[in-house]
């Protein structure tokens, strides 16, 4: 691969200009602009530096970090909206995520310059491996994945059921890397040497294969859903400013708003009664209290206070004559060594049937860093006061299958849809227990973000979770966007943002297991085998990271580590 032209490679300012231009182009592929085709082209302005003989300036990787910082400041600007202190979180998160760009370039340069591997192979492998790490480190944050830019083209994202959204990201970078290699070697092409054009071939073949597979899945899912029936679900979307959630004067108003919208949904569905009504995260403002089996409640706690929420849930379900799935705060009392009650606080969901019986509760497992917990707060409790949004909560321990009228619902809450392996864990554990979910349900409160592009980015995560697990997903969101996503990843119905709304959804429930071949009980290959593809890319990243140190140990000059190989000394 030839080096970029000297005119573009002669100064640190030139590197900064081109790298930041790449950041802006890639950002334009995301909401609110959403020019998805730029996801295939924008990375070229980053990738072009991988094959350069030398990176300009004394601190080129610092310049690349600045370019990464610019992209993430633009992409996740909405983090600053909930609270003034969130400006710190916004800048801190962008600074952390910005480091992935220079690491990507550095590792890719090792593969290209030191190992002699083609850019079209190295770049997508490294990018995908780093994306997997981003989805796991610091509790995991996979919003802003290149794959998410393609949710408007369902045929392109069906391969996610094979290896998760990581496979789609790999495809995008594979194509961008092929384009980069041809652009850098364009002078050879102009002189009639067509060999550089072969770099486009892997991406072209991969795109064709992805489109063919996407059409096959469209036909298969259409056939399985033909004639299928299922429950009618009413998604209730309130619109309450999230920073008022704990105001006592608002508690009654929030409950009344959701109750009124629920009654409207029931009235609007007279032709086909509603089976289940779903409220957003923490929309039910009476806290659910449970007591550990065998624990004796201390005399100073009024037992009647422990059943207020269950009584009100039962009363509302009977009034609506429908099942009720609500986001709710959950307090669990248990004993402690000193005899005092120990209280665990959860962000939860609860399912109540038409008769008012609680059929199941799920406690959120994946807490939001600095939003629902602060690291080391177990040892330093005062750190919990640094969570300005919701306050600290305890993590749930396991997924829960909630069954109503022979339909199994698997609930997740808020940003849990941002983490692919968590939703997969839910489906796999429940399937292994003989309770394969029929429907994925996300309860969220996105009113924190004032109708910004966060709503669209969060919805994109839900689209991929539906495709990966081949299950319909319904989303009930305070402030929007509430939605119905089918197993093909199509957003069938969606509410407007920043206003109250109800959404009547007629779900189609096909066979319990979406993939029965070879006695496989799981709904997709990704559910069965997990992140095998991305982990393979991580292994390659580790090998590339170790390669310079192995060379140094064998006596290679340090100059060869992250640049062009040093010249061999003359004999």
106-163 pLDDT, tens digit each? 999 999 998 999 999 999 999 999 999 999 998 889 999 999 999 999 999 999 999 9
Residue 365 C-alpha from the chain's centroid: 15
Residues 219 and 237 in one domain: no
> What is the pLDDT at residue 374?
59
Residues 211 and 355 in one domain: no
Instruction: Report residue 82 as tokens.
Output: 């909930």
420, part of any domain? yes
Backbone φ, ψ for residue 288 (5° rounding): -80, 130
Residues 155 and 178 in one domain: yes
Strand 232-237 and strand 358-363: the pairing is: unpaired
Residues 340 and 476 in one domain: yes
Instruction: Report residue 194 as tokens.
Output: 């067509």
Domain encompassing residue 271: 232-510+521-529
- CATH code, domain carrying 387: 3.60.110.10
Q: Measuring CA to CA, which residue among 286, 364, 279 is closest to residue 322? A: 279
The helix (run of H) or strand (run of E) holding residue 64 is helix 60-75
Residues 200 and 236 in one domain: no
478, part of any domain? yes
Q: How far apart are CA 1 and CA 53, in angstroms?
A: 10
> What is the pLDDT at residue 118?
94
Q: How far apart are CA 546 and CA 204, in angstroms?
A: 32
352, part of any domain? yes
Q: Measuring CA to CA, which residue among 127, 126, 102, 121 is closest to residue 181? A: 121
Q: In sequence order, what are the beta bridge partners of 235? A: 278, 503
Q: DSSP letters of 429-478?
A: HHHHTT---SEEEEEEEGGGGTT-THHHHHHHHHHHHHHHHT--EEEEEE
Residues 315 and 447 in one domain: yes
* Count of CB atoms situated within 10 Å of the CB of 38: 18
Buried b (16+ CB within 10 A) or exposed e, 290-299: bbeeeeeeee
- From first to last of the 571 residues of the chain, give the pLDDT tens digit: 544 444 444 466 788 999 999 999 999 999 999 999 999 999 999 999 998 888 888 889 999 999 999 999 999 999 999 888 889 889 999 999 999 999 999 999 999 998 999 999 999 999 999 999 999 998 889 999 999 999 999 999 999 999 999 999 999 999 999 999 988 876 666 666 677 788 899 999 999 999 999 999 999 888 888 878 899 999 999 998 766 445 677 888 999 999 999 999 999 887 889 999 999 999 999 999 988 887 777 777 777 788 899 999 999 999 999 999 999 999 988 876 566 678 889 999 999 999 999 999 999 998 877 666 655 555 555 455 555 555 678 889 999 999 999 999 999 999 999 999 999 999 999 999 999 999 999 999 999 899 999 999 999 999 999 999 999 999 999 998 999 999 999 999 999 999 999 999 999 987 654 444 446 789 999 999 999 999 999 999 999 999 876 665 555 544 333 344 434 433 3
Q: For the purposes of burial, counting CB atoms within 10 Å of the CB of 202, is it exposed (0-12), middle (13-18) or buried (19 or more)?
A: middle
Q: How far apart are CA 142 and CA 128, in angstroms?
A: 12
Q: Measuring CA to CA, which residue among 195, 220, 198, 360 is closest to residue 276? A: 360
Residues 207 and 289 in one domain: no
Kindly compute the dihedral angle of the four CA atoms of residues 444, 386, 393, 261, in this order, to the nearest 10 degrees: -30
Residues 404 and 469 in one domain: yes
Residues 220 and 329 in one domain: no
Residues 243 and 111 in one domain: no
570, part of any domain? no
261, part of any domain? yes
569, part of any domain? no
Query: How many distinct structural domains can be found in the chain?
Result: 2
Q: How far apart are CA 384 and CA 161, in angstroms?
A: 38
pTM score of the predicted model = 0.89
Cβ 124 vs Cβ 495: under 8 Å: no
538, part of any domain? yes
Residues 361 and 417 in one domain: yes
Q: How far apart are CA 106 and CA 104, in angstroms?
A: 6
Q: How far apart are CA 443 and CA 416, in angstroms?
A: 10
Q: DSSP letters of 116-158?
A: ---HHHHHHHHHHHHHHHHTTGGG---TT-GGGGGTT-GGGST
Q: For the purposes of burial, counting CB atoms within 10 Å of the CB of 129, is it exposed (0-12), middle (13-18) or buried (19 or more)?
A: buried
Residues 317 and 427 in one domain: yes
In 3-state terms, what secondary structure has residue 57? coil
> What is the pLDDT at residue 370?
62
> What is the pLDDT at residue 174?
98
565, part of any domain? no
Backbone φ, ψ for residue 287 (5° rounding): -75, 135
Q: In sequence order, what are the beta bridge partners of 552? A: none
Cβ 369 vs Cβ 86: under 8 Å: no
In 3-state terms, what secondary structure has residue 547? helix
């Amino acid at each position: 691969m030839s080096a970029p032209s000297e005119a573009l490679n002669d100064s640190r300012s030139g590197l900064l200009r081109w790298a930041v231009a790449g950041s802006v182009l890639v950002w334009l592929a995301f909401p609110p602009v959403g020019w998805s085709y730029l996801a295939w082209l924008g990375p070229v302005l980053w990738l072009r530096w991988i094959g350069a003989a030398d990176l300009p300036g004394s601190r080129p990787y610092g310049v690349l970090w600045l370019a990464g910082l610019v992209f993430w400041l633009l992409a996740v600007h909405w983090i600053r909206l909930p609270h003034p202190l969130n400006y710190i979180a916004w800048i801190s998160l962008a600074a952390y995520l910005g480091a992935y760009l220079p690491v990507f370039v550095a590792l890719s340069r090792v593969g290209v310059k030191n190992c002699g591997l083609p850019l079209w192979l190295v770049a997508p492998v490294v990018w995908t491996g780093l994306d997997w790490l981003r989805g796991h480190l610091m509790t995991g944050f996979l919003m802003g994945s290149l794959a998410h830019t393609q949710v408007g083209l369902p045929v392109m994202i069906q391969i996610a059921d094979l290896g998760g959204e990581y496979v789609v990201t790999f495809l995008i970078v594979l194509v961008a890397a092929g384009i980069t290699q041809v652009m850098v070697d364009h002078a050879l092409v102009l002189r009639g040497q067509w060999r550089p054009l072969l770099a486009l071939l892997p991406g072209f073949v991969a795109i064709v294969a992805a489109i063919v597979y996407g059409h096959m899945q469209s036909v298969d899912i259409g056939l399985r859903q033909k004639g299928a029936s299922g429950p009618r679900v009413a998604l209730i979307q309130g619109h309450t400013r999230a920073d008022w959630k704990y105001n006592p004067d608002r508690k009654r108003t929030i409950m009344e708003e959701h109750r009124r919208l629920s009654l409207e949904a029931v009235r609007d569905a007279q032709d086909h009664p509603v089976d289940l009504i779903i409220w957003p995260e923490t929309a039910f403002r009476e806290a659910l209290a449970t007591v550990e089996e065998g624990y004796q409640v201390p005399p100073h706690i009024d037992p009647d206070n422990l059943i207020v929420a269950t009584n009100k849930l039962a009363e509302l379900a009977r009034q609506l004559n429908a099942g009720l799935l609500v986001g709710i705060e959950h307090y669990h009392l248990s004993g402690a060594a000193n005899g005092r009650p120990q209280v665990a606080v959860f962000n939860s969901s609860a399912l109540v049937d038409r008769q008012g019986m609680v059929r199941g509760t799920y406690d959120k497992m994946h807490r939001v860093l600095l939003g629902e917990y602060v690291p080391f707060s177990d040892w330093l409790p005062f750190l919990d006061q640094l969570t300005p949004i919701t306050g600290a909560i305890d993590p749930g321990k396991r997924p829960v299958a909630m069954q109503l009228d022979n339909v199994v619902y698997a609930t997740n809450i808020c940003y849990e849809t941002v983490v692919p392996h968590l939703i997969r864990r839910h489906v796999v554990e429940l399937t292994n227990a003989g309770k394969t979910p029929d429907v994925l349900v996300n309860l969220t409160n996105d009113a924190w973000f004032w109708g910004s592009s966060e709503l669209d980015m969060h919805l994109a995560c839900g689209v991929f979770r539906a495709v990966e697990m081949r299950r319909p997903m319904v989303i009930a969101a305070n402030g929007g966007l509430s939605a119905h996503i089918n197993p093909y990843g199509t957003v069938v119905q969606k509410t407007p943002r920043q206003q109250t709304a109800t959404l009547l959804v007629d779900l189609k429930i096909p066979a319990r297991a979406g993939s029965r071949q070879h006695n496989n009980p799981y709904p997709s290959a990704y559910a069965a085998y997990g992140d095998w593809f991305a982990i393979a890319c991580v292994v390659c990243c580790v090998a590339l990271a170790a390669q310079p140190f192995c060379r140094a140990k064998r006596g290679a000059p340090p100059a060869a580590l992250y640049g062009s190989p040093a010249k061999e000394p003359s004999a």
